[in-house]
Amino acid sequence: MEARTVLAENFRRLMKSDAALGSTKKLATKGYSTNGTLGRASKGDTSVGIDVVEQIAAAFKLQPWQLLVPDLDPKNPPALGGVQPVKEASYGHIARSIAALVEGIPQAEEEIKLKMLVAVSQIAREYATQLESKNSAAAPKKRPSAQPQAKP
């Protein structure tokens, strides 16, 4: 799908979701480009400049790149990183879900169960190592003590 088609579909979706900004005329009245330019953007007939994409994004309190993500959900726009942070209370739930999935594997497939658990364990170890590296790099370095050392 062409970027201008994605932009047009998302722009129409956003206007439909917000009555105050529900038409190109309303957007133009509020100073977000001209009615003609916004109309062309909403139809996807021609490509529009990045400045117009920025103005449309600003109108809906989004970043320009978000307008180019197919099937934009106005109530839940895309976020960088792809994954929302997991709350600490969810860790037990996640662990129980993994355990239930592994338990669901038939007894005859014990080798697969073992491989899955080893893989999950390895991923957890690698992630923990990454976190430790980040934390130790971010921690302030301790300065050596300035106290004189006793002579033997």
98-137 per-position pLDDT tens digit: 766 667 777 777 777 777 777 777 777 777 777 777 767 6
**Does pTM top 0.75 for this prediction?**
no
Residue 62 corresponds to which amino acid?
L
Give yes or no: residues 7 and 59 share one domain. Answer: yes
Mean pLDDT of the chain: 78
Q: Alpha-carbon distance 96 to 100, whole Å?
A: 6
Please, which pLDDT band fits residue 16 given cuts at 50, 70 and 90? Answer: very high
Residue 150 maps to a domain = no
Closest CA to 72 of 150, 9, 143: 9
* Total domains in the fold of the chain: 2
Q: Alpha-carbon distance 31 to 124, whole Å?
A: 51
Residue 148 maps to a domain = no
Give yes or no: residues 61 and 107 share one domain. Answer: no
Q: Alpha-carbon distance 36 to 15, whole Å?
A: 16
